[in-house]
């Protein structure tokens, strides 16, 4: 009989062999689920010692109470809005994410969207495919060097994005209430409030976490402050942007273009206004992905579970104040 039980609440991966191999090596039974309700998750995990989690959530009091052996929940990803961390703390469950993977991929993707929109690359490609040629239909295209780029959220990805943007000769601003002063990134960057960032930026790229404080952080009020008709890039979380307010901002001419790797509801209907706009580029939540990053994510998540099963402490504990079961 296995010493431990490890479950997967839900998954989108093509297989789970990396995770299975890691936990079975320390004597754990590995059980995979695709939970669509709390009841299904409890049935799966009622006797589990550890849980991997992808999108099902939020995992809160009801689950923790029904799973008395559960020691740790590890989220496959940086964001952890699927885990009720406060509830986990109350029940002595360690909550863990993987904050240090896909840093290069997401920062590359954000800059790629900015370049594609600033240089109108996607619009030019669409134009050529319909038989048009020449620059006139694309005008105006603005020079990117010398523009002001505002970064909202200066965590790992925001910082790496700033470092890469420095090579383009832009002025950099950032807004982040949890960063007291501009860090030494090897590039000049100025700390400002969000409102000032909106007023001054020719492009705004979002890298904040999704929580109650950041829900619809970019809303009608923010769009109303945008004095430079900026490009908006979101490779962070869909909930950061009020989609209705974004559509309205286009109608009012408050924003020039948008590059979105995420949208509220995960997908937009084919007839949604944003789907009809040439100045909008949407990618299907793939900014995080490369063949290397997906392996890195899975190995790091599996290692965190193994640490806990072996009596250790996770490296990326979201609730360090927790008193483990």
Termini Cα distance of the chain: 22
Three-class secondary structure of residue 301 per DSSP? helix
Q: Is residue 115 part of a domain?
A: yes
Asked if 285 is an active-site residue, the reply is yes
How far apart are the C-alpha atoms of 146 and 166, rounded to whole Å? 11
Q: Indicate if 72 and 158 belong to the same structural domain.
A: no
The number of domains in the chain is: 2
Q: Are residues 134 and 187 in the same domain?
A: yes
Peptide bond just before 227 cis, omega within 30 deg: no
Based on the domain organization, do 134 and 245 belong to the same domain?
yes
Q: Residue-wise pLDDT tens for the chain (325 aa)?
A: 789 999 999 999 999 999 999 999 999 999 999 999 999 999 999 999 999 999 999 999 999 999 999 999 999 999 999 999 999 999 999 999 999 999 999 999 999 999 999 999 999 999 999 999 999 999 999 999 999 999 999 999 999 999 999 999 999 999 999 999 999 999 999 999 999 999 999 999 999 998 889 999 999 999 999 999 999 999 999 999 999 999 999 999 999 999 999 999 888 999 999 999 999 999 999 999 999 999 999 999 999 999 999 999 999 999 999 999 9
User: In this structure, are 80 and 140 located in the same domain?
Assistant: no
Q: What is the pLDDT of residue 71?
A: 98
Radius of gyration of the chain (CA): 22
Q: Are 66 and 24 contained in the same domain?
A: yes
272 part of the active site: no
Any domain includes 318: no
Q: Which of 75, 160, 237, 256 is catalytic?
A: 237
Instruction: Please indicate, yes or no, whether residues 142 and 91 belong to a single structural domain of this protein.
Output: no
Kindly state the tokens that stand for 42: 């409890």
Q: Which of 3, 21, 132, 267 is catalytic?
A: 267
Same domain, 135 and 52: no
Asked if residue 325 is part of any domain, the answer here is no
Contacts 24+ apart (CB under 8 A), 287-293: 287/102, 287/105, 287/106, 287/109, 287/110, 287/235, 287/261, 288/77, 288/78, 288/101, 288/102, 288/105, 288/106, 289/102, 289/105, 290/102, 290/105, 293/101, 293/102, 293/104, 293/105
Is 109 contained in some domain? yes
User: Is residue 182 one of the residues assigned to a domain?
Assistant: yes
Q: Are both 81 and 31 inside the same structural domain?
A: yes
227 falls within a domain? yes
User: What confidence score (pLDDT) does residue 41 get?
Assistant: 98
Tell me: cis bond preceding 140? Omega within 30 of 0 counts. yes
Is the domain of 275 the same as that of 138? yes
In a domain, 196, yes or no: yes
Q: Is residue 51 in some structural domain?
A: yes
**Where do we find the tokens 């900014």?**
287
Domain of 62, in residue numbers = 4-101+291-309
Residue 1, pLDDT score: 73
Whether the Cβ atoms of residue 29 and residue 58 lie closer than 8 Å to each other = no
Which of 285, 296, 299, 325 is the catalytic position? 285
52 and 155 both lie in a single domain: no
Q: Is 246 in the same domain as 187?
A: yes
The CATH number for 113's domain is 3.40.50.720
- The answer to whether residues 240 and 119 belong to one domain is yes
Residue 132 is a catalytic residue: no
């Amino acid at each position: 009989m296995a010493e431990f039980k490890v479950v997967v609440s839900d998954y989108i991966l093509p297989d789970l062999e990396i995770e299975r191999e890691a936990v079975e090596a320390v004597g754990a039974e590995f059980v995979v689920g695709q939970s669509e309700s709390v009841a299904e998750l409890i049935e799966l995990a009622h006797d589990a010692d550890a849980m991997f989690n992808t999108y099902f959530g939020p995992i809160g009091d009801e689950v923790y109470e029904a799973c008395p052996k559960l020691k740790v929940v590890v989220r496959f990803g940086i964001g952890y809005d699927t885990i009720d961390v406060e509830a986990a703390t109350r029940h002595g469950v360690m909550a863990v994410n993987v904050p240090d993977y896909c840093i290069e991929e997401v920062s590359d993707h954000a800059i790629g969207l900015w370049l594609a929109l600033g240089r109108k690359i996607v619009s030019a490609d669409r134009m050529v495919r319909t038989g048009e040629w020449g620059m006139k239909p694309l005008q105006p295209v603005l020079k990117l060097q010398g523009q002001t780029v505002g970064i909202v959220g200066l965590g790992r990805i925001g910082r790496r994005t700033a470092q890469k943007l420095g090579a383009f000769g832009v002025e950099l601003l950032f807004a982040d209430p949890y960063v007291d002063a501009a860090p030494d990134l090897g590039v000049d960057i100025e700390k400002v409030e969000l409102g000032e960032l909106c007023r001054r930026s020719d492009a705004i790229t979002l890298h904040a976490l999704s929580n109650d404080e950041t829900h619809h952080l970019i809303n009608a009020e923010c769009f109303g402050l945008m004095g430079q008709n900026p490009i908006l890039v979101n490779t962070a979380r869909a909930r950061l942007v009020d989609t209705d307010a974004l559509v309205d901002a286009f109608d009012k001419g408050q924003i020039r273009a948008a590059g979105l790797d995420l949208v509220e509801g995960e997908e937009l209907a084919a007839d949604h206004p944003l789907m009809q706009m040439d100045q909008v580029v949407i990618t299907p939540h793939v900014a995080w992905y490369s063949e290397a990053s997906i392996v890195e994510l899975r190995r790091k998540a599996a290692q965190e579970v193994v640490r806990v099963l072996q009596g250790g402490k996770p490296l990326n504990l979201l609730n360090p104040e927790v008193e483990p079961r």
